[in-house]
Amino acid sequence: MTRDKRAGRGPGRPYWLAAVAGAFLLGAAVGPVAASAAQSQPAAPGRSSAGTTARPFPRLSHVFVIMMENTSYSDLLTPSNPNTKFIQHLASAYGLATNYFGVTHVSMPNYIASTSGSTWGSNSDDVAQAPLLNHQNLVDQFAAAHVSWKAYMQDLPYPGDLVDVSANGLYVRKHDPFLLYPDVYNNRARARNVVPLNQLSTALATGNVPQFVWITPNVCNDMHGGAAQCPYPSSPTDPNQAKLYADGNNFLRTWVNRIMHSSAWNSRSAIFITWDEGSYADTSPYGPLDLRGGPDSPILPVTPVNPSSGSGGDLAGGTVYGGGHVPMIVITPGVQHRVSTTLADHYSLLRTIEENFGLPLLGNAGDSVQVHSLADLLRPGRR
């Protein structure tokens, strides 16, 4: 068996998902912990009468998001890991959400959840799903609210390129949520805002930094692995695993320092660093090691849906198919070491972004019962 999830080569679900979900069908009723809305939510607590979100923290002029890959909270933050010392420093010096989870497995649904408020029933890395992801997303909201944005993708060949995997194997479209939405990749002006990472160096040097910046490292620097330059480890003690840790740690040291030493870094800037999902096994069947989830993680029904009869789909006794425990580190000036124990996930990140820019809450980001923002890590002077 090949590592479908980790290599990202095979269409559809990873083969090991059958062992988790039985005969569950992709797109058949996946129940979230609380029901997902298809588009923006109606007015709810914490929202203004105009339909925009109330901001429970000081407004940020620049928001940076760095999405890393497939590494658990414990693997990254244990003091015994000598290859993640900069990450450990950030977690101890700035804001840390200690109860933060990936929404689900595999990678691509987490990127979609982070930018549209729903996984849209997917648990697959197959980029052939992109035409089915014709849903409202952050880019639509930014356009309506005149918020400037760019997504910086390491090793993307050129702005707006729709290649699934770059020739060097380092860029993968499944880690690029913006070029998965039809109303972005079919819109030339929008697609040109998805650019190679090296353009961020120029933006930081010239002070021409958008209000919202998304950064996706390549598959070596995001700790995913699988390219020729960074093979998958065969065990936790494989030197290839240490190299993935070190590559990701060094990437974050480089770019966090560049951002924090640029003119875009001021008292109203913040960097959000997280991992899309937890770790995977290094041996067959290479499945995820942690299925715990956060608010509105999907529930795989105990009885799979039978489309011909309409039976099944019972959530009672079902399995939460979460993305595992991962760190969320929040860096902002004036806020020293702060810990939030509130249950959170990528919907919390989306809610925080939308609250900051006064945008309506998309999908599960608007679940005011379960999903809360990361405000505790953004308020100065409070612990």
| Window from 32-46, 122-136, 182-196, 332-346 with minimum mean pLDDT | 32-46
pTM of the full structure: 0.89
Domain boundaries of the chain, sorted by first residue: 4-68+80-377
The pLDDT, as a whole number, for residue 158 is 98
| Confidence at residue 55, expressed as pLDDT on a 0 to 100 scale | 76
pLDDT band at 53 (very low <50, low <70, confident <90, very high): low
pLDDT tens digits, 202-254 = 999 999 999 999 999 999 999 999 999 999 999 999 999 999 999 999 999 99
Q: How confident is the model at residue 380 (pLDDT cuts 50, 70, 90)?
A: confident
Question: Rg for the chain (alpha carbons), in Å?
Answer: 19
- Would you call 158 exposed, middle or buried from its count of C-beta atoms within 10 A (0-12, 13-18, 19+)? exposed
Helix axes of 346-357 and 138-145: crossing angle, nearest 10 degrees: 10
Q: CA of 29: how far to CAs of 13, 107, 269, in Å? A: 16, 20, 40
pLDDT-based confidence at residue 4 (cuts at 50, 70, 90): very low
Q: Does domain 4-68+80-377 correspond to CATH entry 3.40.720.10?
A: yes
When mean pLDDT is compared across 53-57, 85-89, 266-270, the lowest value belongs to 53-57
Q: Is the pLDDT of residue 273 over 90?
A: yes
Find how far residue 367's CA is from the centre of its chain.
18
Please determine, for residue 173, whether its predicted confidence score (pLDDT) is greater than 50: yes
Question: Can you tell me the distance from the alpha carbon of 346 to that of 274, in angstroms, rounded to the nearest whole number?
Answer: 9
Q: What share of the chain is helix, strand, coil (3-state, %, to 5)?
A: 30, 15, 55
In sign, the C-alpha dihedral spanning 26, 29, 35, 41 is: positive
268-289 average pLDDT score? 96
Lowest mean pLDDT, pick from 138-152, 185-199, 297-311 = 297-311
